[in-house]
A and B are shown apart, each in its own frame.
Chain A
Amino acid sequence: MKEVYEVRMHARAGQGAKSGSQLLAEAAFKQGKWIQSFPEYGSERRGAPTVSYTRISDKQLRTHEPIVNPDVVLVFDLGIAKTVPVTKGLSEETGILIVNTNKSPEYIKKVTGFNGKVYTLDATGISLKLLGIDAPNVPMLGALIKVTDVVSLETLETVIKEHFLAKLGEEKVNKNIEGLKKAYEEVTK
């Protein structure tokens, strides 16, 4: 892994990207890494485009600039790509784009103009089926760790349990874990 691994998440307010960024960071934290997780706050309207960042490093993190050249970009809603340059700073040689969509990676390459590695996952579909709501954050993380190994599935599972058990109860937590694993299996290149 690179010295500093950087992930940028584009979502709509309410889709849980901020929590997603934090869950990822906390999983890395558990694996002994230095972490930063920070959102870009706009006006807090449900549905407005949001950006969340996660940095993971073996060394202490000092910079506080937004992520300029992400290693991975997660897009929680393809519609955002119409107005936000979601692949900005993402290298076509080394960068990875993961999109929540039921369309194919070829289609995504066509609409975004990004010709690097593209993966797709119907994270909303998984979330709707298991939880009955559009909360694609946990499935998107499942796809991310399948594609990148940035943290282990087990650690992420533990963090999700710790985070949501008191708030959501056992049944919903288990459904989230199921969604995580389903995404881990289903993500397509």
Chain B
Amino acid sequence: MSTLKPLTGAQAAAEAMRQINPDVVAAYPITPQTPIVEQFAQFVANGIVDTKTIPVESEHSAMSATVGASAAGARAMCATSSQGLALMWEVVAAVPGLRLPIVMPIVDRALSAPINIHCDHSDVMGTATIGWIQIFSENAQEVYENMLLAVKIAEDKDVLLPAMVMQDGFIISHGVENVEVFDDDKVKAFVGERNPDRYLLDVDHPYTIGPLALPDYYFEIKRQQEEAMKNAKRVYIEAGKELSKITGKTYPYFESYKLDDAEAAIVVLSSTAGTAKDTVDKMRAEGKKVGLLKPKLFRPFPYKEVREALKNIPVIGVLDRSIAFGAYAPLYAEIRNALFELDKRPKLQSYIFGLGGKDIFKSQIEKAFDELLSGDVTPEEERYIGLRG
């Protein structure tokens, strides 16, 4: 049995947190904090969860407190967005090296300047190289399920890495949609309780966390972190298989939508993938063979599997909701990398769209598909969708 609820993406993340029942949640309770913590604080106030909340004085402190709690042995969580993620960056970057399985939902929003509160992926893409597992969600339903998955992967003994679960700011975080919430008992059994081998409050087995490691051992510790990332790729699938026993759904690295015979494909993350699926259906009905690949697991990135899925597509457009200034856009760069091993590579085009919440419409995606189908691509030069002329 499951229950259907009308929830925002933020509420869906909070609903997952209610079932996960973390020991500690630390947050800075004003903007840029998200409604995730606002909703979760109500669960705490109403005694629905037994979580200890720590209101702190900044996002930097929020992640610091989360780190402290996690190191002490607690299941600790935090949520943030945009400037909040930027402010806590120093501590965020330390978490993977500390091997703390903190799970943090992220509401993706633009970074200043100029000041903007709306959706894009600039915030999270800035953290793509520092060792967090990163899972992107298309809608509120995926947010909920990815949160459960993230806890399971992060806390796995072969992984012990932090995980971020992304949702598009406002579009998903503040939009109400149907969300199927699975039974508390089953979900609680799936996520279990955190059971660390080592933790600071285990006074009978003292250990040091976050020591100095100079050229003697720093490199070796980082090498272990990369091994854990490789394990995360395997555990993602294992955890997904287990979760599917509850949800009846599958949890692949990415979603392939009508790709098999596609003559052109678009690769895009998050909420825009839903809009793109409707576009694919419309164009398919008109006899145009188009398809979509929506990455879900972004870190670790499943290069080999993406290559297999895209190898026979003649032309591919990659839509990024952020710019990597002076470089190829983040998702485009990954797709380009993934295809390098092929003898005969698809043609590629990079598109940038939706920065600072600029709307993206089906008609614009259709136009991009038409460009791709015509073979009119400039692989070394990005194009912009929806930019004022």
Which residues does A use to contact B, with CB under 8 Å? Answer: 22, 25-26, 29, 34-39, 41, 60-66, 68
Q: DSSP class of B's interface residues: helix, strand, loop or mixed? A: mixed
**Chain B residues with CB below 8 A from A61, complex form:** 177, 274
Which residues does B use to contact A, with CB under 8 Å? Answer: 4, 6, 117-118, 139, 168, 170-172, 174-178, 271-272, 274-275, 277-278, 359-363
The answer to whether A63 and B177 have CB atoms under 8 Å apart is: no
The answer to whether A68 and B361 have CB atoms under 8 Å apart is: yes
- In the bound assembly, the distance between CA atoms of A157 and B71 in angstroms comes to 50
Closest Cβ neighbor of B363 among chain A residues: A68
The answer to whether B176 and A36 have CB atoms under 8 Å apart is: yes
**Chain A residues with CB below 8 A from B175, complex form:** 36-38, 64
- In the bound assembly, the distance between CA atoms of A164 and B135 in angstroms comes to 36
- In the bound assembly, the distance between CA atoms of A68 and B275 in angstroms comes to 13
The answer to whether B176 and A62 have CB atoms under 8 Å apart is: no
**Chain B residues with CB below 8 A from A62, complex form:** 139, 274-275, 277-278
Question: Which among B4, B117, B168 is the interface contact of A64 at CB below 8 angstroms?
Answer: B168
Residue pairs across A and B with Cβ atoms less than 8 A apart, 6 shown, are A35-B177, A36-B176, A38-B170, A38-B176, A61-B177, A64-B172
- In the bound assembly, the distance between CA atoms of A138 and B156 in angstroms comes to 50
The minimal Cβ–Cβ distance linking B46 to chain A, given in whole angstroms, is 12
Known: A36-B175, A62-B139. 14 other contacts (CB 8 A): A26-B6, A29-B4, A29-B6, A34-B177, A35-B176, A37-B175, A38-B174, A41-B117, A41-B174, A61-B274, A64-B275, A65-B275, A65-B359, A68-B361
**Chain A residues with CB below 8 A from B363, complex form:** 68
Question: Which among A29, A41, A65, A66 is the interface contact of B178 at CB below 8 angstroms?
Answer: A29
- In the bound assembly, the distance between CA atoms of A136 and B325 in angstroms comes to 47
- In the bound assembly, the distance between CA atoms of A63 and B277 in angstroms comes to 8
The minimal Cβ–Cβ distance linking B277 to chain A, given in whole angstroms, is 5
**Chain A residues with CB below 8 A from B359, complex form:** 65-66
**Chain B residues with CB below 8 A from A35, complex form:** 6, 176-178
The answer to whether A64 and B171 have CB atoms under 8 Å apart is: yes
